[in-house]
Structure 1
Amino acid sequence: MKRKLLFFKLCYKKLDKILKIEETRKKLFFFQLREQIKVLEISQRNLMEARDMQLGAKEFLENEVEKLQELLNLNEVHRLTRKYKLSLIIEQVTFI
C-alpha cells in the first residue's frame, strides 16, 4: 500500500512538474505573440503614415504639374502673340 502511495506521489509530482513546464511554455508563447502583435501594430502605423505622406506628396506634385502646364500654356500664348505681332509689323513694313 505504501509503495502504491509513494508511486502515486511520484507520479503526481512528475505530472505537476510537467504541467508547470507546459504552463511556463504557454505563458512564454503568449508573451511572444503579444510582442509580435505590438511590433506589427507599430509597423502598420508606420506604413499608414508613409502612405499618407506619399499621398500628400502625390497631390503636391500633381498640383505643381498643373501649375507648370498652365505656365507653359500661357508662355505658348505669349509666344504666338509676339509672333503674330511681328508678322503684322513685317507685313506693314513690306507694304510701305
Structure 2
Amino acid sequence: MTFQTTPAFDRDDKRLSKQHQATFRRLIPRFNAAAERAAAGEPSPWPNGMRVKPVKGAEGVWELPWSMDYPDGRATWEWATIDGTQGIRWQRIGDHDVFASP
C-alpha cells in the first residue's frame, strides 16, 4: 500500500514519545494488509480489534485508534491517489486532540 504523510502528521509524529511512535509503527503492517483488502473491495477488511471507522463530521477522513493507554493514540487518514495508485494519506497523529482538526 502506497502512503504519504501531511506536514501536520509529520509535526505531530515528532511530538510523540518514542514508545508511542513504536506502538504505532508496529501496527502499520497489519493496517496496510487490511487497507489492501479494503482497496480490493472486500466487504469487511478491517479486523474488529483495529476499530477503523470514519471520523464524524469530517467527510472522507478515517480514524485508526492505535493505543488505549494514557495518553491514548489516534491517527487520522484518507484514501488518496498517490503516484497514480490508490493509497493512504496520513493526516494527523496523537491523542483525541487530533479530532479538532482531523
TM interval, shorter chain, is under 0.3
Structure with a larger share of its residues in strand: 2
TM-score normalized by the length of structure 2: 0.21
Answer with 1 or 2: which has the greater Rg: 1
TM-score normalized by the length of structure 1: 0.22
Structure with a larger share of its residues in helix: 1
Q: Greater relative contact order (Cα 8 A, min sep 6): structure 1 or 2?
A: 2
